[in-house]
């Protein structure tokens, strides 16, 4: 980190590509009024890796930081600090002073964010950061609002909208979507006795279901669906010997909501119920000329009774229906969410708290039919968690519904990762688009730049300059916030009456969605037009999935509204961060992992690697210490150990990269790993370009495994001998691997570059992050060779599994292994020798010659693959397969690949093969490949096994006693008398293996504490 800062590597990496094609990244701004959390690391890791990759590909990738400053979340935090309980307190305190506190609060944790960002290696330019509260930013937002206003798409409307009574402001649809909580409400069935016509004569009551009893106070009408059949039913109920009888009206499909004996007296179409009058259950307030049945198509018969009570002040549908019938809109609830004090019974009560009292009242009035608790998701304020109320109020809207087609068009051209979001979560959202409720009746936000006179003439200003011109004052240094802009007034151009600003501020989500242009102060600031044009739209944005209805939406919408073009081409939606048990992290559960301590414990690279490579980026991910240690051990530590291994042998043999032999003069193993390396370059390149960090991580991890656990391990001798081809090949692999890894794990790779690559090659770049992304040399890729080594490794794995099952130690040589694998016949002898060596067997042969001899084979039809091919015939095929000789069938398939069973063509994969070894053999099989080990042990094999044990024992002692790898030693040894002669016979072989100049049997040594009682005295020769 210090190295990067000292040498300005980030700056150098971008300026070096200044003439490259721009690749634009937009930073979704965090709000720095709280401490950064682990979820901030997640997003920042992904925001870092792809820009680093694109830079290595030669693109010019600037990364401007940003801070989100305005909005309700900030106000609420400050209110809490000041101990305020509502808007009254703020007004008393003074808007100017309150906004000053808000301004301070959003800069409070900027340092913590910067520290975390640097610590995790996220390269972003804080010096040029944009602030959404900066005057130039606010003016740019004003400019865009004026563009929208000029198109007639920014209008004031009276509508029922979700409203937070605590915060005293409406919420937009995307905010609403973020705050659903599961609550239990009273669910009540209420009788509304009919007062006119034939139904009244029958003494019928309309049965209505609601989960918001508090809205019954303002009941204005009852809606039915005109097309639905309603039944008039006589209901007889016996309760504790008392028989009651009544007549109720419900929708026919919902007749089950009635209990007791039900007799249908009559069926009526909904439309024939129109204007039937009823007596409302509560008469606490005056609602003139109301209380009759109205028709509404939105009424469904999915739940309830099919009769919906209407309260137009608290429901958008209700309002539309009641307006159509000319019904009054009566609202008994004050903006703070309490019933007006003059309302009897519930005056002064918070709307939700009134439910209990009202249900009691309904019961005492005898109109309560049924009452049960009802659990359902109910919208709450996403910031303060107060239950929202749907509330009729004037509000400013952006008519996003009028650009719905354009939004859908832009969405279709967007690359979503994961792709399902495009038509799923986000596509649905656009299809159900409703107008954006933009205004907030609050204080700390971008003021809505609309001035209005008494006659409702309106002007929208796009800058302080324009405002100054209207007011006839120099205002370019005015703070464009409340209360200062509120003080500016001027005469109306039309009627000369005073123009005053409308009191609202705007949704802070508009601010962040305006960042593509507002970050440059577009179009007012000199140079901003060029900067904006060069960086619009973004090639890449990335945030957590909750932003589909937040920033992803507002960015696309504002871009489309103002420029008729979405502001991004590709978007990566990340899953949420959970704790190790899959629970949300919360202070309440005490399972929050602090980002800095997480990185202190594991290292920033480990955390980055975990976020990028372990698991799908768009699934919710669990973060726990064990999981991180695990992936680090598997991959990063192996990479590190391979680097150390190379360094050790390079030093001991004075390795010089100019001496590396040409590729054509190297061994098959070298050709193989270079072939894998070049395949890896192509694979990782593609994965990074498609934002698939998990795919890149998988390929890199697999290569690191190949390199360490096969190439290096199988080439140990060559490294001991200082073989230049081996050292050179490994060096080349590590240099390229380090570059490929560098976007994901920038610290460890930089360290390797400085300590290993740079010293070996003076021409190497000053930093791995200044290098170009490697280019695959296709001529070095040999797919057949790759496949053969992969098969070799699989066969070794199977052999090891069979060994493990047989409980015969790997050091005990076995006489024979039989192999079955497609392509075995063509496997080069070198690789067969590797297998024999790895499995410690003397002979390898093809299983095809011995099938029936060593295993009992039985087969069953593989319904999945056969079903896919033959459909329903699979039952008949299964019978046919069961009827024929399994051994012969498998043998045929293993040689020819396909065959016919009756009339059906089948392949090996169409069978489920069970091979039970005959005694004396151990078989392991996986996906058509098998290894069978001959477990018979001759005396020669046992002796050879004992020799191996002795070698291992001495090797371990060498290590334990601290000898250097090249030290020659003298050994005096003793062992179980029964095996002494076998050891003596192999003395020269053992001496070679352990670098012993003397190897002497000494009977006087005490027996060792191991199976063969080996003991030894080892000294340096
Ligand atoms: Zn609220
Ligand atoms: Zn006017």
Average pLDDT (431-442) is 89
Instruction: Please tell me which residue in 497, 584, 864, 900 is annotated as part of the active site.
Output: 584
Q: How many angstroms does the Cα of residue 71 sit away from the middle of ligand 1?
A: 12
| Residue 592 pLDDT > 60 | yes
pLDDT in tens, 577-586: 888 887 777 6
Q: Provide the token pair at 122.
A: 């996220």
Maximum average pLDDT range among 86-90, 318-322, 786-790: 786-790
Average pLDDT (51-60) is 96
Instruction: Please tell me which residue in 123, 416, 429, 551 is annotated as part of the active site.
Output: 551
Residue 587 backbone dihedrals phi, psi, to 5 degrees:
-55, -35
pLDDT in tens, 106-116: 998 888 899 99
CB contact set of 781 (below 8 Å; sequence gap of 6+):
675, 678, 679, 682
- pLDDT category of residue 587 using cuts at 50, 70 and 90: low
Instruction: Please tell me which residue in 382, 444, 451, 509 is annotated as part of the active site.
Output: 509
| Residue 219 pLDDT > 60 | yes
- pLDDT category of residue 903 using cuts at 50, 70 and 90: confident
CB contact set of 846 (below 8 Å; sequence gap of 6+):
818, 819, 820, 824, 825
Q: Which residue has the tokens 């003298």?
A: 970
Instruction: Please tell me which residue in 240, 456, 587, 664 is annotated as part of the active site.
Output: 587
pLDDT at position 465: 96
* In contact, 219 and 212? CB cutoff 8 Å: no
Average pLDDT (61-75) is 92
Q: How many angstroms does the Cα of residue 458 sit away from the middle of ligand 2?
A: 7
pLDDT at position 597: 84
- pLDDT category of residue 460 using cuts at 50, 70 and 90: very high
Q: How many angstroms does the Cα of residue 812 sit away from the middle of ligand 2?
A: 101
Edge-first strand order for the sheet with 415-417 is 415-417, 570-574, 541-544
pLDDT at position 367: 93
Write b or e for each residue in 229-254: b if 16 or more Cβ atoms lie within 10 A of its Cβ, otherwise e: ebbbbbbeeeeeeeeeebbbbbbeeb
Q: How many angstroms does the Cα of residue 444 sit away from the middle of ligand 1?
A: 14
> Which is nearest to 995 in space by CA: 1014, 1021, 1016, 976?
1021
Instruction: Please tell me which residue in 68, 185, 579, 934 is annotated as part of the active site.
Output: 68
pLDDT at position 554: 96
Q: How many angstroms does the Cα of residue 85 sit away from the middle of ligand 1?
A: 11
Average pLDDT (815-824) is 86
If you compute the radius of gyration of the chain from its CA atoms, what whole number of angstroms results?
39
Write b or e for each residue in 43-53: b if 16 or more Cβ atoms lie within 10 A of its Cβ, otherwise e: bbbbbbbbbbb
Average pLDDT (156-171) is 87
- Residue 746 is among the residues annotated as catalytic for this protein: no
| Residue 182 pLDDT > 70 | yes
Say how many residues make up the chain: 1021
| Residue 194 pLDDT > 70 | yes
Instruction: Please tell me which residue in 29, 36, 162, 281 is annotated as part of the active site.
Output: 29
Q: How many angstroms does the Cα of residue 574 sit away from the middle of ligand 1?
A: 27
The helix (H) or strand (E) run that includes residue 590 is: none
Q: Rounded to whole angstroms, how far apart are CA atoms 29 and 218?
A: 43
Ligand nearest to the CA of 442: 1
- Residue 547 is among the residues annotated as catalytic for this protein: yes
Q: Provide the token pair at 815.
A: 């006489």
Q: How many angstroms does the Cα of residue 456 sit away from the middle of ligand 2?
A: 6
| Residue 278 pLDDT > 90 | yes
Maximum average pLDDT range among 11-25, 28-42, 550-564: 550-564
Q: How many angstroms does the Cα of residue 916 sit away from the middle of ligand 1?
A: 68
- Residue 151 is among the residues annotated as catalytic for this protein: no
- Residue 29 is among the residues annotated as catalytic for this protein: yes
pLDDT in tens, 118-156: 999 999 999 999 999 999 999 999 999 999 999 999 999
> How much of the chain is in helix, strand and coil states, percent to nearest 5?
45, 20, 30
Q: How many angstroms does the Cα of residue 164 sit away from the middle of ligand 1?
A: 5
| Residue 849 pLDDT > 80 | no
Ligand nearest to the CA of 379: 1
> Which is nearest to 785 in space by CA: 698, 682, 678?
678
The helix (H) or strand (E) run that includes residue 933 is: strand 929-934
Average pLDDT (252-257) is 92
- pLDDT category of residue 519 using cuts at 50, 70 and 90: very high
pLDDT at position 791: 93
pLDDT at position 854: 67
Task: Specify the DSSP class assigned to residue 587.
Answer: T
Average pLDDT, the chain: 91
* In contact, 168 and 395? CB cutoff 8 Å: no
Q: Provide the token pair at 223.
A: 């809606």
Instruction: Please tell me which residue in 310, 519, 547, 834 is annotated as part of the active site.
Output: 547
Q: How many angstroms does the Cα of residue 454 sit away from the middle of ligand 2?
A: 6
pLDDT at position 669: 94
| Residue 394 pLDDT > 90 | no
Ligand nearest to the CA of 458: 2
> Which is nearest to 604 in space by CA: 125, 115, 110?
115
Average pLDDT (728-750) is 97
- pLDDT category of residue 627 using cuts at 50, 70 and 90: confident
Which one is predicted more confidently, 22 or 394? 22
Task: Specify the DSSP class assigned to residue 350.
Answer: B
Q: How many angstroms does the Cα of residue 503 sit away from the middle of ligand 2?
A: 17
Q: How many angstroms does the Cα of residue 380 sit away from the middle of ligand 1?
A: 8
- pLDDT category of residue 851 using cuts at 50, 70 and 90: low
Average pLDDT (898-908) is 86
pLDDT in tens, 323-335: 889 898 889 999 8
> Which is nearest to 410 in space by CA: 553, 549, 513?
553
* In contact, 205 and 249? CB cutoff 8 Å: yes
Q: How many angstroms does the Cα of residue 49 sit away from the middle of ligand 2?
A: 55
CB contact set of 52 (below 8 Å; sequence gap of 6+):
13, 123, 742, 743, 746, 769
pLDDT at position 744: 97
End-to-end CA distance of the chain: 47
| Residue 304 pLDDT > 70 | yes
Ligand nearest to the CA of 165: 1
Cis peptide before 418 (omega within 30 of 0): yes
pLDDT at position 850: 65
* In contact, 381 and 388? CB cutoff 8 Å: yes
- Residue 509 is among the residues annotated as catalytic for this protein: yes
Q: How many angstroms does the Cα of residue 452 sit away from the middle of ligand 2?
A: 7
> Which is nearest to 71 in space by CA: 145, 132, 148, 112?
132
The helix (H) or strand (E) run that includes residue 1012 is: none
- Residue 921 is among the residues annotated as catalytic for this protein: no
- pLDDT category of residue 852 using cuts at 50, 70 and 90: low
Proportion of the chain above pLDDT 90, given as a percent: 61
pLDDT at position 136: 97
Ligand nearest to the CA of 453: 2
- pLDDT category of residue 595 using cuts at 50, 70 and 90: confident
Q: Rounded to whole angstroms, how far apart are CA atoms 767 and 13?
A: 9
Ligand nearest to the CA of 388: 1
pLDDT at position 1021: 82
Ligand nearest to the CA of 76: 1
- Residue 68 is among the residues annotated as catalytic for this protein: yes
Ligand nearest to the CA of 179: 1
| Residue 245 pLDDT > 70 | yes
Instruction: Give this prediction's pTM.
Output: 0.78
| Residue 612 pLDDT > 60 | yes
């Amino acid at each position: 980190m210090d190295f990067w800062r000292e040498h300005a590597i980030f700056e150098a990496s971008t300026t070096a590509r200044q003439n490259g094609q721009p690749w634009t990244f937009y930073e979704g701004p965090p709000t720095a009024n709280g401490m950064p959390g682990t979820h901030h690391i997640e997003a920042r890791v992904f925001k870092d890796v792809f820009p680093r990759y694109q830079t290595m590909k030669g693109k010019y990738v600037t990364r401007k930081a940003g801070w989100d400053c305005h909005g309700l979340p900030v106000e609420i935090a400050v209110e809490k600090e000041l101990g305020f309980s509502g808007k009254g307190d703020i007004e008393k305190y003074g808007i100017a002073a309150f906004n000053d506190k808000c301004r301070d609060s959003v800069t409070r944790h900027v340092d913590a964010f910067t520290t975390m960002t640097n610590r995790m290696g996220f390269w972003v330019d804080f010096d040029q950061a944009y602030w959404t509260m900066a005057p130039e930013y606010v003016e740019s937002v004003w400019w865009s609002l004026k563009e929208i206003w000029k198109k007639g798409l920014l209008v004031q409307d009276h509508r029922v909208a979700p409203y937070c009574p605590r915060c005293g402001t409406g919420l937009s649809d995307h905010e609403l979507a973020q705050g659903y909580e599961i609550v239990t409400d009273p669910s009540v069935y209420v009788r509304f006795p009919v007062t006119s016509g034939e139904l009244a004569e029958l003494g019928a009551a309309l049965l209505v279901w609601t989960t918001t009893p508090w809205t019954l106070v303002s009941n204005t009408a009852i809606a039915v669906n005109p097309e639905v059949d309603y039944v008039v039913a006589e209901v007889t109920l016996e309760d504790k010997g008392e028989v009651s009888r009544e007549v109720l009206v419900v929708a026919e499909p919902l007749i089950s909501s009635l209990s007791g004996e039900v007799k249908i007296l009559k069926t009526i179409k909904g439309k024939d119920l129109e204007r039937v009058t009823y007596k409302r259950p509560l008469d606490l307030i005056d609602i003139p000329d109301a209380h009759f049945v109205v028709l509404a198509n939105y009424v469904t018969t999915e739940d309830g009774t099919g009769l919906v009570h209407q309260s137009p002040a608290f429901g958008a549908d209700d309002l539309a229906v009641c307006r159509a019938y000319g019904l009054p809109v009566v609202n008994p609830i004050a903006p703070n969410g309490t019933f007006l004090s003059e309302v009897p019974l519930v005056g002064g009560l918070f709307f939700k708290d009134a439910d209990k009292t009202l249900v009691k009242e309904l019961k005492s009035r005898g109109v309560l039919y049924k009452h049960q608790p009802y659990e359902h998701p109910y919208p709450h304020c996403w910031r303060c968690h107060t239950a929202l109320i749907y509330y009729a109020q004037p509000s400013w809207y952006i008519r996003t519904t009028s650009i719905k087609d354009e939004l859908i068009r832009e969405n279709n051209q967007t690359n979503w990762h994961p792709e399902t979001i495009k038509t799923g979560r986000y596509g649905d959202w656009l299809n159900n688009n409703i107008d954006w409720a933009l205004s907030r009746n609050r204080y700390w936000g971008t003021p809505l730049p609309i001035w209005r006179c008494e006659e409702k003439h309106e002007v929208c200003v796009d800058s302080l300059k324009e405002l100054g011109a209207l007011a006839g004052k120099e205002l370019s240094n005015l703070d464009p916030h409340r209360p200062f802009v509120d003080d500016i007034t001027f005469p109306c151009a039309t009627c000369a009456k005073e123009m005053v600003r409308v009191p609202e501020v705007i949704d802070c989500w508009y601010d962040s969605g305006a960042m593509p242009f507002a970050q440059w102060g577009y179009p007012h600031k000199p140079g901003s037009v060029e900067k904006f044009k060069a960086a619009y739209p973004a090639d890449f944005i990335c945030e957590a999935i909750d932003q589909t209805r937040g920033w992803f939406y507002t960015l696309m919408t504002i871009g489309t509204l103002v420029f008729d073009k979405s502001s991004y081409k590709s978007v990566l939606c990340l899953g949420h961060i959970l704790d190790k048990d899959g629970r949300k992290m919360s202070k309440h559960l005490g399972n929050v992992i602090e980002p800095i301590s997480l990185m202190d414990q594991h290292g920033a690279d480990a955390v980055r690697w975990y976020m990028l490579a372990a698991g799908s980026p768009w699934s919710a991910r669990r973060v726990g210490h064990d999981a991180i240690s695990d992936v680090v051990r598997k991959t990063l530590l192996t990479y590190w150990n391979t680097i150390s291994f190379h360094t050790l042998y390079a030093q001991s043999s004075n390795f010089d990269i100019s001496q590396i032999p040409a590729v054509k003069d190297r061994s098959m193993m070298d050709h193989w790993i270079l072939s894998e390396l070049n395949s890896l370059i192509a694979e990782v390149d593609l994965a990074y370009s498609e934002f698939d960090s998990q795919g890149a991580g998988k390929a890199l991890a697999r290569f690191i495994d190949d390199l360490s656990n096969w190439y290096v391990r199988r080439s140990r001798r060559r490294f001991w001998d200082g073989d230049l081809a081996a050292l050179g090949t490994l060096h080349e692999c590590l240099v390229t691997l380090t570059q490929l890894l560098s976007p994901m794990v920038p610290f460890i790779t930089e360290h390797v570059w400085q300590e290993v690559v740079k010293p070996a090659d003076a021409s190497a770049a000053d930093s791995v992050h200044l290098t170009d992304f490697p280019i695959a040399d296709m001529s070095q890729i040999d797919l057949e060779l790759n496949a053969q080594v992969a098969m070799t490794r699989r066969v070794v794995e199977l052999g090891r599994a069979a060994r493990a099952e047989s409980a015969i130690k790997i050091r005990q040589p076995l006489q024979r292994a039989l192999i079955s694998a497609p392509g075995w016949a063509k496997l080069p002898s070198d690789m067969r020798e590797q297998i024999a060596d790895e499995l410690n067997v003397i002979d390898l042969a093809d299983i095809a010659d011995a099938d029936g001899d060593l295993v009992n084979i039985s087969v069953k039809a593989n319904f999945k693959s056969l079903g896919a091919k033959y459909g329903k015939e699979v039952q008949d095929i299964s019978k046919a397969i069961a009827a024929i000789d399994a051994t012969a069938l498998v043998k045929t398939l293993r040689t020819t690949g396909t065959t016919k069973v009756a009339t059906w063509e089948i392949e090996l994969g169409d069978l489920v093969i069970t091979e039970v070894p005959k005694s004396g053999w151990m078989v392991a099989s996986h996906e058509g490949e098998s290894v069978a080990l001959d477990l018979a042990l001759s005396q020669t094999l046992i002796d050879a096994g004992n020799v191996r044990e002795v070698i291992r024992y001495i090797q371990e002692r060498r290590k334990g006693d601290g000898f250097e790898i090249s030290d020659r030693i003298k050994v005096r040894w003793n062992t179980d008398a029964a095996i002494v002669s076998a050891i003596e016979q192999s003395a020269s072989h053992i001496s070679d293996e352990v670098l012993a100049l003397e190897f002497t049997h000494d009977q006087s040594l005490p027996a060792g504490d191991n199976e063969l009682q080996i003991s030894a005295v080892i000294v340096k020769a």
